[in-house]
Chains A and B, each alone.
Chain A
Amino acid sequence: MNSFLEKCCDECWHSKDKPCDLFIQCCNEGPLCHHNAECEKEIKSLNKRLRYEEHDIPVIFIGMGTCGLASGALKVKEAIEAELKKFNIIARIEPTGCIGYCAKEVIVDIKLPGQSRVSYCEIFPKIIPQFINTTLVEKKIYQENLLGTFGEHTIELPAIKNHAFFKRQTKVVLENCGIINPDSIDSYIAVGGFKAFDKVLRLKTPEEVIKTISSSGLRGRGGAGFPTGKKWELAFKRKSEIKYLICNADEGDPGAFMDRSVLESDPCRVVEGMLIGAYAIGAVKGYIYCRAEYPLAIKRLEKTIQQCRDYGLLGDNILNSDFSFDLTIKKGAGAFVCGEETALIASIEGKRGMPKPRPPFPADSGLFGKPTIINNVETFANIASIISRGSDWFSSIGTKNSKGTKVFALSGNITNTGLVEVPMGTTLKDVVYEIGGGIPDKKKLKAIQIGGPSGGCLPESVIGTPVDYESLKEVGAMMGSGGFVVMDEDTCMVDVAKYFLQFIQSESCGKCVPCREGTKRMLEIIERVPVSYKGTKNKSDQLQRFKGIIHLRRLADVIRDTSLCGLGQSAPNPVLSGLRYFKDEYEVHLYERKCPSGVCKELLVYTVDNSLCSGCGVCAKKCPSGAIAGEKGHAHYVIEEKCIKCGMCFDSCRFNAINVN
């Protein structure tokens, strides 16, 4: 047997068309319908092989999520293959997803027969010969790039769970990410996958499932934090022959990549969560609305769905019950607003993704006018664990009103970029300094941007805030989908506010006036702030500059109160939190016309340091406006009138001879 779909002997009769109701249980503990020591041994051994507990050739795991591939995982794989051939070693190469430590990709794990799995980081093609020689030929530990072991640890061989990056994390959603092969449903079943669904289907009524989810306290992970159990109950109570279940994987938040990583590394978990949800509300058809910008996630999902159909886990009469459910992937077409549920529904229906007023809520009348439930990827990924471990276990993690864990995508100016999963209630400080490893280059932390364009920028003074839905709202940010961008002292908060407004402005669908026009006016006000004297053409322009700031807060209130959907309602958040915490920075821009962080280009003055300039002329060649003059071999100079402050000279100078003030 090489997969669970193969029969142990002729007695087994499970197939796609003739499903056995005990199939999942049989995979783990089988065979159940007959007694045969040979079959039992065979199934047990298959499980062990799929969990990599029993194998006679070395197994090499390579992290092949988008982050791994972008760091060169394919080249690493080729190099390893070439090296194996050279030494005539037979080994199995197993692709895995992302373990979350994206800063240290490519991550390669080696498991020798009879030994525990050892993880290595930052493996690049040029060190492969040495790496393979040490680990597979000499069978030693390659100390230079060691991350840790998954098994028993010693002083020379520390455990990966004690590594600073992983120590403070609690993995529920990311449990299997980077561990199992995401392309194989068998490896998911072998680690206990689909057991929760099997339990629900055979032993629980939909009411019981909803009760378990409700009492666990799980809240939607997409940002708003609506209790999942309550949502399901609403749909369950609606009488309708057709109900739909939608998984929202339109992760449009710039700076968030949790959903992508979960879909790439453990797609089966999301499908299982959806199966349980569909059973609970009585849905017959499901959609996964995934961004087209995530080609790998879509590819892996397609494969998983096909495998589930082959195994009889999707389709009609699943596992010989009267429950039928099928899944379709809908590719998003690149519109941020489609993350909003009514806009997402419109997009699936083939219309422009514009939100509709609620009520009616989708749970009453959603896709094609039928009751519809939409949950986020991470929400679905939590479901299976809640069912198998119980709602008490889940509600024991987290704070009073926010239960469980939350996955954050750490990025920006932080040492350990990557995916982290922490219990709710962990402070921002712990995430940044303990897990994230602090700010690189000994720079100071300026702000943490949480929740993407709907969230806010939090300064160091509130770094003790615990991460949960309420606390974050109190300090002016929001959970959002989980983007966590760290900004150091070189980031300008006016520039960040401008960036988010530009984003919102271009992504506003244009249906309601406050969002369409209001964000445009806000952007215009913010754009006037970092302008030099030369840029403000006349006196009335200068007056407008101050007047705008006075009106900004009122404008923000109007947009927040009168916009149709979440996009508009939360659009002023980045600006408001900026005004609240970084008022001085706005004032310096306004009164002194200076950008303390040196980001707002228009306020900068570029000069050439005569003592450092070698007169190579690179900057003059690069300057798009011809503002640099000088003779070859002699120090050059900047003609201020012509300078458009693009910064090309600064970036291209090899002698650091360009000064910026």
Chain B
Amino acid sequence: MDSEIFEKYKKGDRSCLIPLLQDIQDKYNFLPESELKEIAEFLEMPLSRVYGVTTFYNQFRLIPLGENVIKVCRGTACHVKNSANILFNLETTLKIKAGETTRDRKFSIEVVNCIGACSIAPVITVNEEYYGRISVKDIPKVLKPYQPATRAGNKPKVKETNEQEVSK
């Protein structure tokens, strides 16, 4: 049991469920089954209810993510600027679908409704890094620093996002 997380909350207070789940997920990167059981016991509610909440919200996941998480914004502004193509390209490059993780656990692709950076659409984020005004042609460059170095000593730098031209 992660006492340091549970300590912050009142036992049996069901309104703590979502923050509790968020904290657990922050720690483990996903929600392990054992922790869900602990939560249900701690908040004195049925496990089915905890599971119900977990699956209702987009944020929670029951399977672990890869080392690098690519989030593709699919907001309206990004859609107008062709983010569907970017997602498709990422999917074919990494050979996984959105919501999946590569077999070597290096990359996961997630689709988010809107990151709120519509002014620099289309946007993707890799871990915490934002890449704005991205085009399909930029994708290999963006992914390179995160990929395992295939050719030794050949680690090109990512071109800074702001230097990129607004591309359609």
Contacts and interface: CB of A to CB of B under 8 A. Distances in A.
A417 B58 contact: no
Given A124-B160, A331-B19, A499-B79, A409 B118 contact: yes
A71 B114 CA distance: 17
A412 interface: yes
B161 A483 contact: no
Interface string B2-39: 00000000000011111101100000000000000000
Contacts of B147: none
A260 interface: yes
B89 interface: yes
Given A69-B130, A651-B85, A349 B117 contact: no
A440 B59 contact: no
Contacts of B123: 70
B71 to A, nearest CB: 9
A70 B161 contact: yes
B162 A256 contact: no
Contacts of B69: none
Interface in A623-661: 624, 646-648, 651-652
A257 interface: yes
Interface stretch (A332-340, A459-467, A561-569): A332-340
Contact of A103 (B15, B119, B136): B119
A485 B80 contact: yes
B119 A67 contact: yes
A418 interface: yes
A503 B119 CA distance: 20
A574 to B, nearest CB: 10
A336 B113 CA distance: 9
Interface stretch (A19-27, A43-51, A246-254): A246-254
Given A413-B80, A485-B77, A293 B115 contact: yes
B76 interface: yes
A426 interface: no
A358 interface: no
> Of A252, A350, A352, which is in contact with the most chain B CB atoms at under 10 Å from its CB?
A350
A483 B76 contact: yes
A334 B15 contact: no
Nearest to A455: B76
A491 to B, nearest CB: 6
A651 B137 contact: yes
B76 A352 contact: no
B128 to A, nearest CB: 8
B79 to A, nearest CB: 5
Interface in B134-168: 135-137, 160-163, 166, 168
Contact of B56 (A102, A124, A353, A441): A353
Contacts of A651: 85, 89, 135-137
Contact of A255 (B18, B89, B118): B118
A293 B53 contact: no
A85 interface: no
B59 A124 contact: no
Sort chain A's interface into a size bin.
35 or more
A424 to B, nearest CB: 22
A632 B79 CA distance: 35
Contacts of A490: 168
Given A70-B120, A411-B118, A412-B77, A648 B92 contact: yes
Contacts of A418: 119
A66 B137 contact: no
Interface in A320-374: 330-336, 347-353, 368
B160 A75 contact: yes
A487 interface: yes
A349 B119 contact: no
Contacts of B88: 646-648
> Of B115, B161, B163, which is in contact with the most chain A CB atoms at under 10 Å from its CB?
B115
A72 B75 CA distance: 21
A72 B160 contact: yes
B56 A335 contact: yes
Contacts of B160: 72, 75, 124-125
A330 B162 contact: no
A428 B64 CA distance: 46
Contact of A411 (B77, B89, B92): B77
Given A330-B19, A351-B53, A124 B163 contact: yes
Contacts of B119: 67, 102-103, 105, 257, 409-411, 417-418
A648 B114 contact: no
B36 to A, nearest CB: 14
Interface string B85-117: 100110010000000000000000000111111
A106 interface: yes
A292 interface: yes
30 contacts: A67-B119, A71-B120, A102-B120, A255-B77, A257-B116, A293-B112, A334-B59, A334-B112, A335-B56, A336-B113, A349-B14, A350-B14, A350-B18, A351-B14, A353-B57, A368-B15, A409-B118, A411-B118, A412-B76, A417-B118, A485-B80, A487-B80, A491-B80, A496-B79, A499-B76, A509-B56, A622-B92, A624-B92, A647-B88, A652-B136
